[in-house]
Amino acid sequence: MYLPIPDEMPPEKQAVLVKAVESLRTVDGIAAIVLGGSYARGTQHPESDIDIGIYYRESSPFSIDAIRKAARSLSHDGVPVVTDFYEWGPWVNGGAWISTRAGKVDFLYRNLDQVMRTIDQAQQGVYEHDYNQQPTFGFYSVTYLGETHVCIPLVDPQGWIAGLKSKVKRYPPKLKRAVVATELWKAEFALLFADAYAAKGDVYNTVGCLARICGCLTQALFALNEKYFMNDKGALEIVERFILSPPDYRERVSRLLASSGSDPNKLVETVTAVREIWSEIVALSGDLYQSKYFGKDPTDG
């Protein structure tokens, strides 16, 4: 069985991937199987997991027992974790964690109809942010577009994945405008709260606001550069390669969050520095964002 496996994947991992696909491809209800994660993005390292996306239709999902059987056939160290549908939340909607002789393998369930709806909505400038789905800053539905864009189809008999990949080849213009405007507004709004907390020396709430603001700014930068956001891990390293970004964004954000302060003077200084980063991104956004406060920075005088 030929599979378009990246040459960078070690032979022992390739063998595990082939075995996994062979175990899954005959399971009723599986609409497609893809390789995702770092091996799909080309950012893998020697210890990288193998991430396998398993797609199904809402009307005819696969049997969890069948997935459990496939997972056990790969495991060499105990009983693998296999979840039911949506056990991990409404977006990261289940899967399996498996320890194999070649390293960790993750199965990730994906509702094909949900992915289709999300992509269609994104084309119209609609996206969702589910903060409670996962650390660090929650789950952005844009991730579904990113996963689709980078994944390598391994089994796609009906061409569902191929069709979706053609839809996300270009970053949707309406989505770009929506993400930039929404995330910069969320950052602007949080800055107003950070001002008040910092002036009172409230470390807990000031630092919480600052982290929230930086998360929003990072989202805006991904959209501004027409790059699909995948997850928070490694996001700042990716931003370093963007054409449109404040100078030394990663270093500045890391430094400010690492030493926000514990007294009002230092906290206010940090909030001011974060506001400067926000202002720089607003300038980069051109007509994609106008302040909610009469077209100017609400913190000016």
Tell me the three-class secondary structure of 218-278, residue by residue: HHHHHHHCCCCCCCCCCHHHHHCCCCCCCCCHHHHHHHHHHCCCCCHHHHHHHHHHHHHHH
Percent of the chain residues past pLDDT 90, beyond the cut: 91
Compute the mean pLDDT over every residue in the chain, rounded to the nearest whole number.
95
> For residue 257, what are its two tokens?
């969050």
Dihedral angle over CA of 8, 53, 228, 245, nearest 10: -50
- CB burial string 49-76: b at 16+ within 10 A, e below: bbbbbbbbbeeebbebebbbebbeebbe
Q: What is the mean pLDDT of residues 288-293?
A: 82
What's the pLDDT score for residue 1? 67
Q: Give the bridge partners for 1, in sequence order.
A: none
- Span 49-76, pLDDT tens digits: 999 999 999 999 999 999 999 999 999 9
- Span 171-230, pLDDT tens digits: 999 999 999 999 999 999 999 999 999 999 999 999 999 999 999 999 999 999 999 999
- Span 23-51, pLDDT tens digits: 999 999 999 999 999 999 988 988 899 99
Check whether 269 has a pLDDT greater than 70.
yes
Q: How confident is the model at residue 293 (pLDDT cuts 50, 70, 90)?
A: low
Instruction: Please give the helix or strand (H or E) that residue 55 lies within, else none.
Output: strand 50-56
Which residue type is seen at 84?
D
Instruction: Give the relative orientation of helices 249-258 and 203-224 as an angle to the nearest 10 degrees.
Output: 170
Nearest Cα to Cα of residue 106 among 9, 2, 34: 34
Q: If you count DSSP H runs as helices and E runs as strands, how many of each does the chain have, helices first?
A: 11, 8
Q: What is the mean pLDDT of residues 9-21?
A: 95
Q: What distance in Å separates the CA atoms of residue 132 and residue 283, rounded to the nearest whole number?
A: 31
Asked if omega into 118 is within 30° of 0 (cis), the reply is: no
